[in-house]
Structure 1
């Protein structure tokens, strides 16, 4: 722990000072010495008279030109001055700076200090105090006698003014108290409306969830997150947000109701205090020196420990009413926010319900159009299946005809290949024509078989597509039944904004 030091005597960051050097006996002061050169005959000047200003004080009193510094004195070649510094300089009392005593004298004070000492001795002290005290006491006695003569009238006047002020503030407090009573009743009525709106809010939430639950019964191809599904989900979310706003507002209402009751209790206490004080001051104002109930009460002429000043009392009266009015204004604003939350929330719910109904209507219309289109497609598919079956029968008939032609060609080639003898079994043009015909028949049969297989595959696909169309139509009919019939009956019970406002 560092030792504590005085910042003026022992500064922490003291700048080192060079030690002062003093002139020794017989040394010259340098340029400040008026007699820098040695004595020369004729250098002594005649005396010059001292000139004082016209408004200067007497010569034995301090002059404007006086100085208490010893630097004005120099030591020349002539003079009885001893070496060293004088002890009436700023270094007076410092060890080692006292002058050396010679055989003539020792100098201790300057002329300025001598004049200051004269002024101090000539200044009257106790005499002036006595004169001032006599004048002051006589003035105070006279003033006290005058004040005692008019003090009672002034006190009565102040008591009357005090009674008027108390009456004025009592009326203001009564108005504030009545306004707070009305506000508490109005806020309690709106609180009942908000609780009723919270109960009504369960109905649209149940309707929205029921609609979402019903739409889960759609068949798989229609289990899509369409616009109607989005609006229903948003409707449930909006109901949850409105409930959150209602609950938060209800919590604020409960808190504000407690604040209103506290403000009412405070203003009632203030009204009770003012009534009691007004009764006391009216009784004091009616008293006179001839009243029979006047007694000595020693020790009452003092301020009570809990006494307040007039400024604080005025501030208290205005602040008491102001605080109550601020609480009442907050309550009025909260009532406005409460009704706004109910009205706007019900309107938002109605708008969202309209959006949901519109999305459902668009979904129903699109589903109906799709269902009609699917039925037309099914009819075309059935007609196409019939056409493909007819084509397949025609291809089979052509295959049978090709079979007859093939038997004819094979019979001819067999008889020519095995029945002609020796050199007659030659590759003539007829043989080439039969071989070419056999090749063409084989290619045609293969092509017709490919066409038959392709036709059968097409018919199989058409039959499969027919089943898919019939299943899709049944799915759309199911979705229409849910969205158009069942949801409409459920959503017919959706509450209106008027029901919320009249809750």
Structure 2
């Protein structure tokens, strides 16, 4: 086996470390000294020269020194960087905690304002519901006066004869019916407006509740975030959360969104206030109008009843007088008949005398004074009888007219009594059931 060593000698770049050798070191020749011979060739191939030895350990010393200086620089920079990053991190965390606290105050302020308007809308809605119930009760209450007025008209249509007249009571009752119909239509329109406003209030309240719920959840999350610190055990890494989310709102849009919701609630609150005042005024006006018309109808009834009572009294007095006249006329007829009968005997006597004297013979048939007297007597009795017959005929005709007047008076008195019964017993008794002011106002 050959004794030649096959390990190559390390190469050093002497140009990299110039001046490594100082003046005391032995100078190496540019070329290697010739070998003693082939016998030492295997021992020379794996060895360094003294210059290479000096170059090697001085290079290590220089590299270690450079590494030391670099390490010191890095250590100083690291210490400064750690201090700076610690300060920045603490400052950023403190600032983040402060901003979270301010954000919590803003959310709490808006949430409190939302809650206030929600409570107002709830109160307004309850007030509108109460107003709607009042309107419904008032509408139901108008059915009673409507039934009374129509029944009064129906009852008065059963008046008899000349009493079936379009008088002031009839006109006032027709006005009352028209007024009640218009009041009912107005109450129905007001109820529809109230129902619509209740729906709008509930929609606005729902919008505010959604916003309040979102802010409550955001407040809870931000409050939890504000409680996190470096010693919290429930924190973990969320790499995705550091990126800005798409479609995220900004502060102006966030404020404008809540402010728009509040402005809508304010509009509905103002509309509710105006509608409540309008409904209250409608109830007040309709109640006043109905009661005024009821008073007018009652006064017309009283006036009409007084007129009918006066007419009935006058008719009864005239009937009494007529009955007295009928009695007197009947007695007069009897007297006339007796007077006519009483003239029968004198007439017979006078006519008998004339007849017998007309039998006188020859020259004795003379127009003497007895004859003339008898003729005058017969003519006078005839004229008297004719006058008495004419008077009797006039008396009988008068009696017939008195009887007709009596029947007409009795019929008219009966009509007046029937009308008074309708007015007082039927109509005015029913009108006592007219609703009160509180009932017509919906209470």
The 5 Å alignment of 1:300-311 reads: 304=246
d(CA) in 1 for partners of 2:317, 2:379: 46
1:378 has 2:305 as partner:
no
The 5 Å alignment of 1:203-352 reads: 203-275=144-216, 304=246, 314-352=255-293
d(CA) in 1 for partners of 2:253, 2:341: 125
Gap regions ≥5 residues in structure 2: 1-87
d(CA) in 2 for partners of 1:322, 1:454: 98
CA contact (8 A) 1:417 1:425 kept: yes
1:458 aligned partner: 398
1:477 aligned partner: 417
1:73 aligned partner: none
d(CA) in 2 for partners of 1:492, 1:295: 82
d(CA) in 2 for partners of 1:313, 1:216: 72
2:386 aligned partner: 446
Which range is displaced more, 322-331 or 393-402? 393-402
Query: Residue 321 of structure 1: CA displacement?
Result: 1.1
1:388 aligned partner: 329
CA contact (8 A) 1:343 1:497 kept: no
1:201 has 2:142 as partner:
yes
1:490 has 2:430 as partner:
yes
d(CA) in 1 for partners of 2:294, 2:356: 90
Query: Residue 206 of structure 1: CA displacement?
Result: 3.4
1:467 has 2:407 as partner:
yes
Secondary structure at the counterpart of residue 433 of structure 2: coil
1:361 aligned partner: 302
The 5 Å alignment of 1:144-223 reads: 165-223=106-164
- 1:422-478 deviation per Cα after TM superposition (whole angstroms, max 9, x unaligned): 7x7677888777666655554443333222111101101112222222333333333
- 1:161-215 deviation per Cα after TM superposition (whole angstroms, max 9, x unaligned): 7665544333322211111111122222332333333334333333444444444
CA contact (8 A) 2:312 2:416 kept: yes
Query: Residue 380 of structure 1: CA displacement?
Result: 0.9
d(CA) in 2 for partners of 1:402, 1:481: 55
Which range is displaced more, 253-262 or 432-441? 432-441
User: Larger radius of gyration, structure 1 or 2?
Assistant: 2
Structure of greater relative contact order (alpha carbons < 8 Å, 6+ residues apart): 2
CA separation of 1:405 and 1:166: change in aligned 2, threshold 3 A:
same
- 1:386-412 deviation per Cα after TM superposition (whole angstroms, max 9, x unaligned): 221222223223333444454455455
Which range is displaced more, 449-458 or 241-250? 241-250
CA separation of 1:402 and 1:282: change in aligned 2, threshold 3 A:
same
- 1:2-51 deviation per Cα after TM superposition (whole angstroms, max 9, x unaligned): xxxxxxxxxxxxxxxxxxxxxxxxxxxxxxxxxxxxxxxxxxxxxxxxxx
Query: Residue 315 of structure 1: CA displacement?
Result: 4.3
CA contact (8 A) 2:301 2:428 kept: no
TM-score, normalised with respect to structure 2: 0.63
> Aligned residues, how many?
349
d(CA) in 2 for partners of 1:438, 1:401: 14
The structure with more helix, counted as a fraction of residues: 2
d(CA) in 2 for partners of 1:199, 1:359: 26
TM-score, normalised with respect to structure 1: 0.57
CA contact (8 A) 1:203 1:495 kept: yes
Secondary structure at the counterpart of residue 316 of structure 2: helix
d(CA) in 2 for partners of 1:415, 1:186: 120
CA contact (8 A) 1:402 1:445 kept: yes
